Structure 1
Amino acid sequence: MKPIHIITLIAFITSLGSIICGLILDVEYAKKLVGFGVLGLFLIVFPLFSYYRWKDKDVKDYMITKENLDKMRENQKQNKI
């Protein structure tokens, strides 16, 4: 496994563990545990996961341009025949 994948997995497990501990344990800082877990998911895990999944992709392949529309129309015509 790649290092960024391992870091993302560890951050996910830590955030999820923090949320679960905050919900299960009856301590005075339980709400802070849940909050830090959610914060970790949205500020650390999601950006790392997005970077890992999109780093080798070309954004132009996912944009609607005239060329891509023409390709989609050609594919539809070929599939109907």
Structure 2
Amino acid sequence: MKYLIIAVILASFASIIYGFSLDEDQKARADRFIGSGTVGLFLVAMPLFLIKESRGKSMKDYMLNEENIRKMNAREKEKGKKKKE
């Protein structure tokens, strides 16, 4: 999965760079390469990366709810006490 993501990112950047390097008389073709590179980055590589990195993690830990707010407030109070000492 890691190598697939790297390959998609490299291909997307190569497509964008190639699109910018085309002459003015091939504007439509250049726009197509730039657009496909952008789509590759944001609609293919980014979701693959997020799926890979979030596998096995609980989304409940990252949500802002009453329990997590209380935990954050308790940590802030502890940090404040340690700084005063």
TM-score, normalized by the shorter chain, greater than 0.5:
yes
Q: CA deviation at 1:25?
A: 2.1
| Gap regions ≥5 residues in structure 2 | none
Q: TM-score, normalised by structure 2?
A: 0.84
The residue number in structure 2 matching 1:34 is: 34
Counterparts of 2:80 and 2:67, CA distance in 1? 20
Q: CA deviation at 1:30?
A: 1.3
The residue number in structure 2 matching 1:12 is: 9
The reply to whether residue 25 of structure 1 matches residue 55 of structure 2 is no
Superposition CA RMSD, Å: 1.2
- Which letter does structure 2 place at the counterpart of 1:16? F
Structure with the bigger percentage of helix: 2
- Which letter does structure 2 place at the counterpart of 1:67? E
Number of residue pairs aligned between Structure 1 and Structure 2: 78
Q: TM-score, normalised by structure 1?
A: 0.88
Deviation string for 1:21-66 (max 9, x for gaps)? 0001226211111111111112111111111111121100011122
- Which letter does structure 2 place at the counterpart of 1:75? R
Identity %, equivalent residues:
35
Runs of 4+ in 1 over 4 A off after TM superposition: none
The residue number in structure 1 matching 2:47 is: 47
- Which letter does structure 1 place at the counterpart of 2:68? N
SS of the counterpart of 1:71? helix
